[in-house]
Amino acid sequence: MTPLCYFHMQLSIAYKAPSSRRTPKIVALPARLEIIASLFLCFLLISFVSAQTRRRPRPTQPQPQTQAPRGSATKYSTFLHSSDKHKSLKCSDCHRVPTAWNAKRDFPDVADFPDHDACVRCHRQQFFTRQVIVGTGPSICTVCHVRAAPRENARFAFGAPNNSNQPTKPKQQWQFTNEFPHDKHQNAIAMLHRLRSVFSNHKLTDDKKPDYNNCSICHKTDDTPTLARVLPQPVPLPRPENYFKTMPHSHDACFDCHWKDLKPVSDDCGGCHKLAPAAFAPMTSPKRISAKFAHEGGKGEHILECTTCHINITRASTSRGLTPDVPIAACASCHKDSKKTTYPKAATIEEEFANNKKTGECTYCHTADVGKKKPPPSHDAAAQ
Amino acid sequence: MRIARTVLLLFGCLAPLLLNLAGHTQTPQAARGVIRLKVRYKSAAGMKDLPRKRFFLIKGSLEQNQALTDTIKQTQFTSRQCYYRSHGASDALLKWLDEKDCESIYCHEIEDKYISGSEAVPEFKAAYDQALKELKTPEVARRWLPNYLPAELRDGYYKTRQQTIDALTKQAETATGKPVMSIMTDRKGTAYLTDLDPGVYTISNLVGSETEKSSILWICEREVKATDLYIAMKRPFMLSNEKDPKVKCEVIERPLPACK
């Protein structure tokens, strides 16, 4: 008998003795109820203590997370880093850095989901649920696996790049934002004079290309086939993404320098990844509004340094809110009638204004949705 | 009673209209200023543009920032050559850094020819060997080689310099109560400072920029007026190490010291 149980019984007895002497008939029923209630409490207490003892974690496991929260099984089909229990863990409690990466990457990386043990040590209940008997399979499995079935090994691709031909999740969502001091990186790599082969299957820079502030180490011309190129489009796409440059999309770009020693190092996930308040759809490239600029175009004449047109980029201290804005004045430094002697084939802003008077559109640089609007004052100033 | 109801009805109809009108008649967004900075220096080979150097924009005139400018002038900084020599860098590494005017080893690719062969840098070779032992793949080992260099050779100089700059910008921000903006010059020594409040500013590189033979420190003043970018592009703010009576500027040029 637990001490608390004994205490309850003593209370009942102590209460019963004096009262029975005075009003035996009236007190008899409450006294019995008292005993029954005490016994019931004892039963509850024993059940609770024994249940806790059964769920005590193994001593070798990291941080004891004794009990997974209860809830419907379907709730566990989505993994949330933001749950209180998950937030209390270290990244390395579940993720191995690096995992066995050779099959999926050409560099050491966190290339796969954590092992079963990382989940089962807290989510035993969700793994061995009634769903197993019913035949649907535990929904928690679908966090990583394509299907929830005991002998189903196929998993979704983990992270990027996906070189493994594994299927991707139907709805890709990120739970972390990336902290990236753009200016510091620009300081460090500004002198790089050639593209690194790892970042691209794209041709190396030729001698005409700028050799300072070479942003191409991280931002390459997107030459992957897109729907716009592969399929005939009834209407031109409003955002022809392959006019623009790409952004780094894998740890490879970071680990070149931050693999070890230079902070944040590869196993310090929180050094770059900060938990977002809510899951969000990843942004593969900045929002494009209208412009149709071909970096590799200009009949081979777009050889100016990136910062000649992206005049604000060197002041950006983070990647948040970073926009590749280019003022029209930067374009007009070449695309102007007065520059015809230097760039005889270049379309000029004056010509476009003349076209606009005839057609009501500016389509050389803009997509139709914006090209039909009245040019802003900055354009007038650039044309003067 | 009827009059009161009518007034109430009229007020109900007019209120949104008035509010809307008030929104439109608010003061238009204040005009902004732009500086097109153009930095050049005179060397033995003639006038040259100063590429890839950071300049900082601090609110207030030179007089207003007197304490800060005094600190900037007093700040002495070890030259790149002396820093690397004092940390035991080989001649080959110094040559590699000089080739592209690099402050750290991150600034250009470490190609195979710098790992083995006549141009090999001993520090790179040692780091590559260690990387290959751990990473197994030659290509990954070459790319990730910087991870296996000693910190003081890898980016120690850049970091020490950055610490000095950070301390100075912090002092400036505390004194002025305004954030310090920084931009980097392009290969033609040009940089743009856009979206500025009209007013007087101090422009400086805070720590002397090394050229072939000397280190040049600029501490200048510029009045910014509301202007269009296109006009600013035509009228750059020229900085150089030569005397220019039109520019309110203190230029301190020190010869690079001989290293022990």
Residue A361 forms contact with B (CB below 8 Å): no
Q: Which residue from A minimizes the CA distance to B232?
A: A329
State whether B93 and B218 are in the same domain: no
Question: Cα separation of B105 and A188, whole Å?
Answer: 8
Of the partner residues B151, B230, B233, the one whose CB lies closest to the CB of residue A261:
B151
Is residue B18 a part of any domain in this protein?
no
**Is the pLDDT reported for residue B137 higher than 70?**
yes
User: Which is more confident, B70 or A339?
Assistant: B70
Q: How far is A283 from chain B (nearest CA, A)?
A: 27
Q: How far is A365 from chain B (nearest CA, A)?
A: 19
- Name the 3-class secondary structure at A27: helix
State whether B38 and B167 are in the same domain: yes
Closest CA to A372 of A358, A362, A380: A362
Q: How does DSSP classify residue A143?
A: G
Q: Tell me which of B105, B133, B149 is where a domain ends.
A: B149
Question: Cα separation of B70 and B89, whole Å?
Answer: 33
Measured in degrees and rounded to the nearest 5, phi and psi for residue A53 equal -65, -40
Chain B residues close to A305, C-beta within 8 Å:
186-188
Q: Which residues, 6+ apart, have CB-to-CB distance to B197 below 8 Å?
A: B30, B32, B33, B224
Q: Tell me which of B125, B149, B173 is where a domain ends.
A: B149
Cβ atoms of A243 and A229 closer than 8 Å: no
Is residue B60 a part of any domain in this protein?
yes
Is residue B24 a part of any domain in this protein?
no
Q: How far is B143 from chain A (nearest CA, A)?
A: 6
What per-residue confidence (pLDDT) applies to B128? 97
Q: How does DSSP classify residue A266?
A: T
Of the partner residues A190, A255, A261, the one whose CB lies closest to the CB of residue B184:
A190
Q: How far is B23 from chain A (nearest CA, A)?
A: 21
What would the two tokens of residue A228 be? 């716009």
State whether B65 and B96 are in the same domain: no
Is residue B208 a part of any domain in this protein?
yes
- The count of structural domains within chain B is 2
For B117-135, write each residue's pLDDT tens digit: 999 999 999 999 999 999 9
**Is the pLDDT reported for residue A109 higher than 50?**
yes
State whether B58 and B173 are in the same domain: yes
**Is the pLDDT reported for residue B215 higher than 90?**
yes
Chain B residues close to A333, C-beta within 8 Å:
233
Chain A residues close to B102, C-beta within 8 Å:
191
Instruction: Please indicate whether, in this complex, the C-beta atoms of A211 and B187 are within 8 angstroms of each other.
Output: yes
For A226-245, write each residue's pLDDT tens digit: 544 444 444 444 444 566 78
DSSP secondary structure letters along A31-90 = HHHHHHHHHHHHHHHHHHHHHHHHTPPPTTSSS----PPP--GGGGGS--TTSHHHHTS-
Residue B51 forms contact with A (CB below 8 Å): yes
Chain B residues close to A188, C-beta within 8 Å:
104, 106-107, 155, 158
Chain B residues close to A183, C-beta within 8 Å:
182, 184
Residue A130 forms contact with B (CB below 8 Å): no
Q: In this structure, is the dihedral angle defined by the CA atoms of residues A126, A129, A134 and A135, taken in order, positive or negative?
A: positive
Enumerate the domain spans of chain A.
3-54, 73-172, 179-286
Instruction: Residue window 242-261, chain A: list those with CB within 8 Å of chain B.
Output: 255-261
User: Which is more confident, A183 or A384?
Assistant: A183
Residue A191 forms contact with B (CB below 8 Å): yes
Instruction: Please indicate whether, in this complex, the C-beta atoms of B100 and A193 are within 8 angstroms of each other.
Output: yes
Chain A residues close to B184, C-beta within 8 Å:
183, 186-187, 190, 213, 307, 314
State whether B173 and B145 are in the same domain: no
User: Which is more confident, A383 or A29?
Assistant: A383
HEC assignment per residue over chain B: CHHHHHHHHHHHHHHHHHHHHHHHCCCCCCCCEEEEEEEEEEECCEEEECCCCEEEEEECCCCCCHHHHHHHHHCCCCCHHHHHHHCCCCHHHHHHHHHCCCCCHHHCCCCHHHCCCCCCCHHHHHHHHHHHHHHCCHHHHHHCHHHHCCHHHHHHHHHHHHHHHHHHHHHHHHHHCCCCEEEECCCCCEEEEEEECCEEEEEECCCCEECCCEEEEEEEEEEECECCHHHHHHCCEEECCCCCCCCEEEEEEEECCCCC
Q: Which residues, 6+ apart, have CB-to-CB distance to A45 below 8 Å?
A: A2, A4, A5
Helix axes A24-54, A3-22, angle to 10 degrees: 180
**Is the pLDDT reported for residue B82 higher than 80?**
yes
Q: Which residue from B minimizes the CA distance to A310?
A: B192
State whether B135 and B193 are in the same domain: no
Instruction: Please indicate whether, in this complex, the C-beta atoms of A256 and B54 are within 8 angstroms of each other.
Output: no
Chain A residues close to B194, C-beta within 8 Å:
311-312
Instruction: Please indicate whether, in this complex, the C-beta atoms of B184 and A192 are within 8 angstroms of each other.
Output: no
Instruction: Residue window 13-42, chain A: list those with CB within 8 Å of chain B.
Output: none
Is residue B178 a part of any domain in this protein?
yes
Q: How does DSSP classify residue A202?
A: S
For A18-36, write each residue's pLDDT tens digit: 444 444 444 455 667 777 7
User: Which is more confident, A86 or A129?
Assistant: A86
Chain A residues close to B182, C-beta within 8 Å:
183, 314-315
Residue B182 forms contact with A (CB below 8 Å): yes
Is residue B6 a part of any domain in this protein?
no
Domain that holds residue B183: 33-78+156-255
Residue A315 forms contact with B (CB below 8 Å): yes
What would the two tokens of residue B88 be? 């035991």
Closest CA to A367 of A296, A288, A295: A288
Residue B99 forms contact with A (CB below 8 Å): no
Q: Which helix (H) or strand (E) holds A174?
A: strand A174-178
State whether B131 and B161 are in the same domain: no
Give the confidence band of B4 by pLDDT, cuts at 50, 70, 90: low
Is residue B141 a part of any domain in this protein?
yes
Instruction: Please indicate whether, in this complex, the C-beta atoms of A196 and B143 are within 8 angstroms of each other.
Output: yes
Average confidence (pLDDT) over B58-76: 96
**Is the pLDDT reported for residue A49 higher than 50?**
no
Q: How far is B258 from chain A (nearest CA, A)?
A: 26
Q: What average pLDDT does the structure give for chain A?
A: 73
Instruction: Please indicate whether, in this complex, the C-beta atoms of A255 and B144 are within 8 angstroms of each other.
Output: yes
**Is the pLDDT reported for residue B17 higher than 80?**
no
What per-residue confidence (pLDDT) applies to A77? 82
Residue B225 forms contact with A (CB below 8 Å): no
What would the two tokens of residue B186 be? 């392009």
CATH at B191: 2.60.40
Chain A residues close to B151, C-beta within 8 Å:
261-262
b/e map A56-69, b = 16+ CB within 10 Å = eeeeeeeeebeebe
Instruction: Please indicate whether, in this complex, the C-beta atoms of B143 and A314 are within 8 angstroms of each other.
Output: no
For A128-143, write each residue's pLDDT tens digit: 877 666 667 788 888 9
State whether B72 and B165 are in the same domain: yes
What per-residue confidence (pLDDT) applies to A204? 37
Residue B155 forms contact with A (CB below 8 Å): yes
**CA–CA distances in Å: residue A154 to residues A26, A100, A150, A158, A161:** 71, 16, 11, 12, 18
State whether B128 and B231 are in the same domain: no
Closest CA to A166 of A178, A155, A181: A155
State whether B165 and B125 are in the same domain: no
Q: How far is B13 from chain A (nearest CA, A)?
A: 33
Helix axes B91-99, B122-135, angle to 10 degrees: 90
Question: Cα separation of A315 and A227, whole Å?
Answer: 35
**Is the pLDDT reported for residue A253 higher than 90?**
no
**CA–CA distances in Å: residue A111 to residues A95, A100, A187, B25, B41:** 10, 7, 30, 57, 50
Instruction: Please indicate whether, in this complex, the C-beta atoms of B144 and A259 are within 8 angstroms of each other.
Output: yes
Q: How far is A230 from chain B (nearest CA, A)?
A: 33
Statement: the pTM of the whole predicted model exceeds 0.80: no
Cβ atoms of B72 and B206 closer than 8 Å: yes
